[in-house]
Amino acid sequence: MNLNILTKTNLSYQPSRKLLGFANLVILAIVLFAGARVHAQIDLRLEMSKQSYMLNEPVSATLHITNHAGKELVFRGNNARPWLNFHLVSNGKAIPPARRMNYKPVVIPAGQTVSRNININSTYSLGRMGNYTCTATVNMPGPTRSGFTSNRNQFNITGGRPIWIQRAGIPEAPGEIREYKLLTFSGNRALELFAQVSSANSGLHIATIPLGNVIMLRKPSGTLDSANNMHALYQVRPAIFTHVTISPNGRLLSISHHKRGKSGSDPRLYLLNDDVVVAGAIPFNPEAEAAQRKKIRNISERPPFTYRK
């Protein structure tokens, strides 16, 4: 009799399968709820500046960070643990960072969104053509190791088509040869023009500078001045041309805009007193013209009047 009672007592302490299943569901619900609360603290959205980039062009992105934590957040990192990281993959292989980058601190008030423009080339070496995927990860401030990952973006890197190439020596560096190029790129909707500077001695890439959209009614032209600065003249609108000057170190020195002259002929680059100027054109200021257009009042804006005989 006592044995039966003891046996029933022992069996009564063994949970049933239904009870175990219910307990597991409760635990899972708690974990998911906690995870949802954690993930709701930060919302990340990553936007690439465009889908296609030319080889060695700066690959830029904008990261939007929204604070749902209910308090101000200060993201600050160090060389050992930066607050912001990127994860890049190409052809199924992860791309390791080429250098450590400790991004500037960011303060985000509660309920606010802060956006940061980032040049991904500053951390990763993207010197090969191919398809890439990119995500951003933000580490929460404080001792916690939790982080938040953005949406995934896809982009590709391809080559351009050279339309002008010139080599020249550098006065300050005897024996050093620079190679200058103008290239067109059609990876996106509009045709783009790029200027590229590299070392002909080592093949080292120095700079690839996007010059904006171009129309090919007149082929872009290039030349060098007495200091071996690169000059490019290209058509951006049917009657508007842009002139840029680029140093042997790949720095954009100047940019100006010009209108076709009264003769109707196309502007051209002209060497004058060791400098390069634009001949056959009138200087054009887009901002001044836009301001002038605003001053012109539409007929609909005239004040009301009463006609009297």
Structure tokens at 302: 């005239």
Q: Which fold has domain 42-157?
A: Immunoglobulin-like (2.60.40)
Rounded CA-CA distance 307/309 in Å is: 7
pTM over cut 0.75? no
Span 160-199, pLDDT tens digits: 999 999 999 987 888 899 999 999 999 888 899 999 999 9
Cβ(103)–Cβ(83) below 8 Å: yes
What pLDDT was estimated at residue 214?
Answer: 96
Span 280-305, pLDDT tens digits: 999 998 776 766 666 655 555 655 54
Cβ(216)–Cβ(210) below 8 Å: no
Q: How do the domains of the chain map onto residue ranges?
A: 42-157, 160-293
Please count the CA atoms within 13 angstroms of the CA of 143 that sit on its side-chain side.
0
Torsion from C-alpha of 80, 81, 84, 86, nearest 10 degrees: 70
Radius of gyration of the chain (CA): 31
> 42, 49, 37: which is closest to 108 by C-alpha?
42
Rounded CA-CA distance 57/158 in Å is: 10
- Helix, strand or coil for residue 299? helix
Rounded CA-CA distance 38/78 in Å is: 23
- Helix, strand or coil for residue 301? helix
**35 in the Ramachandran plot: left (φ > 0), alpha (ψ -120 to 50) or beta?**
alpha
The residue length of the chain stands at: 309
Mean pLDDT (whole number) for 143-168: 91
Structure tokens at 69: 């934590």
Q: How confident is the model at residue 273 (pLDDT cuts 50, 70, 90)?
A: confident
Contacts of 266 (CB under 8 A, 6+ apart): 218, 235, 241, 260, 280
Cβ(46)–Cβ(153) below 8 Å: yes
